[in-house]
Structure 1
Amino acid sequence: MTDFNPNAHLDFDVDTLSGMVPIRQVVFSIGSNLGDRLAYLQGAVDLLRNTPTLSIADISPVYETAPVGPVEEQPDFLNIIVRADSTLASLVLLERAQAIEKNFLRTREVPGGARTLDVDLITVGDRIKETPELTLPHPRAHQRAFVLVPWLDIDPDAALPALGRVAELLRDVDTSGVRRRDDLVIDL
């Protein structure tokens, strides 16, 4: 008879179990520039929080940002970054992001135009993926101050897979249109 070892479970590799899926850090960028912008951001966070097998780890401060893209004449955005942990597949996370946008009546008639809500999937762990449905990391995240600035606030060691550390990427991005709004708060 062998002695019971109370630490035996520490030698157990859960990733080798059948059906187990690794937990990955997920980063979402959420923005709104129509209607009650703060309420739309809060609503998106609430729906992410209610997503099975997704656990919100952190939310950045709220930033007000100038619009970026082809449609220049539109209101400023409120933006946040949400970090979460999840076992969901990247395409399921994308579907969830799009369902949340649809819930807040997001339309896509004018690419880059004003919107009630924009929920972008920025990273899923260190996945690099390029399909017609999804590119990871988000293909323009490294060029967008409204993604990099709030992300750096909550994760000074953040990095975009294959592109580099957020702090270094931010050196090449114009941050003049990004203003932190400490008077606006998203509840976790």
Structure 2
Amino acid sequence: MIAVVGIGANLGDARASVADALARLETRPGCRLVAASSLWRTAPIDSSGDDYINAVALVETTLDAPALLELLQAIETAHGRERPYRNAPRTLDLDLLLYGDAVIDTPALSVPHPRMHERAFVLAPLLEVAPDARIPGRGRAADYLPGVAGQAIARLGQVPGPSTHLFSKGPL
């Protein structure tokens, strides 16, 4: 199964946090990092604090969606993630955006992520690594770019650190 994970941080060394999250995804049992986008800088949406550093990862996984979510939350916790209020600034935020073409709607997990088509910080890096990506129930991710054109976003370049090698771009 190919899953798409959104990664963001705006507290502490956000670039290092994103790079570490990618490295952790690459080394966890049941996961293989297939592709990682560049880093992107965006202003907070419905939040406050410094600009975010964002990326998207394509992960081949044998974990089911709830187990993958649990893994993502464990990585967040290892980075000191706290949830004092909705949309609080974050040391690390990992969102399960897509899980193959599955549609999941439980109290703990909504896939596809319900606002991914409204966020430039998701669409730009997603389309960088998976230009033909589709959002189940919505269609082509690229079709939503015009709707986020007013959101400031800047490509910063490749992820620093050990994950800077090129990943093969897998199917999505």
Q: Deviations over 1:91-132 (max 9, x none)?
A: 001001100000000000021011100000001100001000
RMSD: 1.3
Asked if 1:54 corresponds to 2:37, the answer is no
Q: 1:126 is matched with which residue?
A: 101
Asked if 1:112 corresponds to 2:84, the answer is no
Larger radius of gyration: 1
Q: 2:61 is matched with which residue?
A: 86
**Alignment match of 1:154 (pick from 129, 143, 149):** 129
Residue 175 of structure 1 deviates from its aligned partner by 4.7
Residue 43 of structure 1 deviates from its aligned partner by 1.1
Residue 176 of structure 1 deviates from its aligned partner by 3.6
Identity %: 37
Residue 64 of structure 1 deviates from its aligned partner by 0.4
State the one-letter code of the partner of 2:65: S
For normalisation by structure 2, the TM-score amounts to 0.90
> 1:121 and 1:111 mapped to 2: Cα distance?
17
> 1:110 and 1:125 mapped to 2: Cα distance?
30
> 1:183 and 1:47 mapped to 2: Cα distance?
17
Q: How does 1:144-183 map to 2 (within 5 A)?
A: 144-182=119-157
**With CA pairs under 8 Å and 6+ residues apart, which has the higher RCO, 1 or 2?**
2
1:62·1:185 contact (CA, 8 Å) conserved in 2? Answer: no
Q: How many residue pairs get matched?
A: 163
For normalisation by structure 1, the TM-score amounts to 0.83
Report runs of 4+ in structure 1 exceeding 3 Å deviation.
Answer: 183-186
> 1:61 and 1:45 mapped to 2: Cα distance?
12
Q: Structure 2, unaligned stretches of length 5 or more?
A: 165-172
